[in-house]
Amino acid sequence: MEISNPMVSVIIPSYNCDVYILETVTSVLNQSYKDIELIVVDDGSTDRTREIVASFGAPVRLVTQDNARVCAARNRGISEAVGQYICLMDHDDYWFPHKLEQQVALLQAHPEAGVVYSAFILWDADANGRYPEPASFDLAEFSDGIDPDLSGWIYHQFLLDCWLLTSTGMFRREVFERCGNFDINLPYSEDWDLWLRISRKYQFLKQQKPSTLYRQHPHQGNRVVRMFDYRTELLIKASQVWGLCSVDGRCVKRGEFNKKIASYHADFAYHQLKAGNCSVAARSLAKAWSKNPAAMKYMVQLVAALAGWRPKW
């Protein structure tokens, strides 16, 4: 049954995900909280994804568009949504049954927060490509409550890592109206970019207990080797625009920030070396060493890379 004025809008951008989309959509429809609308924005799939989504009928609203990548699909879903709260779920992940119920309660109890998100569990397949049944995960092993270190004004924390997995979040509608949507010009770290913007204006709440299974497979976008280091450029730009401190005065130290940037430069370099892009890798290792001169390993690796070294992992 469709709900005319749902409290929660769930948006799933999909693209050629016929292997996983059935399980993902089912996990949304099986939520204990029912005051929802589910919008699947298919971004030009050429497999059976649209057919599978359409087979659910009225409980799922299928919106189709030509391929414009995930940011455009998410933004289209946000524009179509009518709920007071918005969730963005990736097409291959899975929600535990009480995810929405718990997060609605938290946002209603904490009007100061614009976003609630949670821990997640990496969902790995076995040697035969089979994933463990979601019911096999014992959530009682995880603590209840809110993680104080990653809650509140946490812009400074987002300068170190992208703590919010998109599928785990719930956002007040006003967050997007005030902070904007996903940047369609970013093919990577587009979520991190938005979280940084939101964290300048809103507090976050992090649940310690996982709400989501984060499926791991070879076709994930974060496994693509890209020629531009979007991650470090994003963080350096944010630090230049907003500094290193959150609204409440909590800060990351400059030395800690530089060490993290150096590690990201080095990580980018290692992937470039594996792909055979030696000159790109060398420039990134040089940047890593400039950000953290005390870490002589970066200089050693730079010299080794120029001599033909390749990482084994």
User: Is 16 part of any domain?
Assistant: yes
Is 312 inside any structural domain? no
pLDDT at 1: 47
Do 216 and 290 sit in the same domain of this protein?
A: no
Distance, CA of 218 to chain centre: 17
What is the tally of structural domains in the chain?
2
Measured between alpha carbons, how far is 93 from 131 in angstroms, rounded to an integer? 12
144-203, pLDDT tens digit by residue? Answer: 999 999 999 999 999 999 999 999 999 999 999 999 999 999 888 999 999 999 999 999
Q: Report the half-sphere exposure of 70 (CA within 13 A, side-chain side).
A: 20
Task: Say yes or no: 175 and 284 in one domain.
Answer: no
Q: d(Cα 106, Cα 118) in Å, to the nearest integer?
A: 11
Return the CATH number at 50: 3.90.550.10
Q: What percent of the chain has pLDDT over 90?
A: 84
Phi, psi (5° rounding) for residue 143? -75, 150
Is residue 192 included in any domain, yes or no?
yes
Q: Which domain holds residue 266?
A: 253-306
> Are residues 257 and 131 both part of a single domain?
no
Phi and psi, residue 39, nearest 5°: -115, 120
What is the tens place of the pLDDT at every residue in 232-244? Answer: 999 999 999 999 9
Which CA distances in Å does 72 have to 66, 90, 202, 203? 10, 14, 23, 26
Confidence of residue 2 (pLDDT cuts 50, 70, 90): low
Q: Is the pLDDT of residue 52 over 90?
A: yes
Mean pLDDT on 64-93: 97
238 lies in a domain? Answer: no
Q: What share of the chain is helix, strand, coil (3-state, %, to 5)?
A: 40, 20, 40
Tell me if 264 is assigned to some domain: yes
Whole-angstrom Cα distance, residue 211 to residue 28?
Answer: 12
pLDDT of residue 304: 80
Same domain, 277 and 215: no
Residue 209 lies in a domain: yes
Residue 92 pLDDT: 97
State whether 66 and 212 are in the same domain. Answer: yes
270 assigned to some structural domain = yes
Span 249-299, pLDDT tens digits: 999 999 999 999 999 999 999 889 888 888 889 999 999 999 999 998 988
Same domain for 91 and 175: yes
Dihedral sign, CA of 64, 65, 71, 76? negative
Same domain for 181 and 41: yes
Report if residue 3 sits inside a domain. Answer: no
Global pTM value: 0.93
Task: Say if residue 269 is in the same domain as residue 181.
Answer: no
The answer, yes or no, to whether residue 224 has pLDDT greater than 70, is no
Q: Which of 223, 241, 262 finishes a domain?
A: 223
* Average pLDDT, integer, range 201-206: 98
261 and 148, same structural domain?
A: no
Q: Are residues 19 and 168 in the same domain?
A: yes
pLDDT on residue 49: 98
69 plus 179 within the same structural domain: yes
Element (H, E) at 24: helix 21-29
Q: Are residues 283 and 214 in the same domain?
A: no
Domain finish residue from 223, 245, 268: 223
Span 9-17, average pLDDT: 98
- Of the three residues 223, 244, 268, the one that is the final residue of a domain is 223
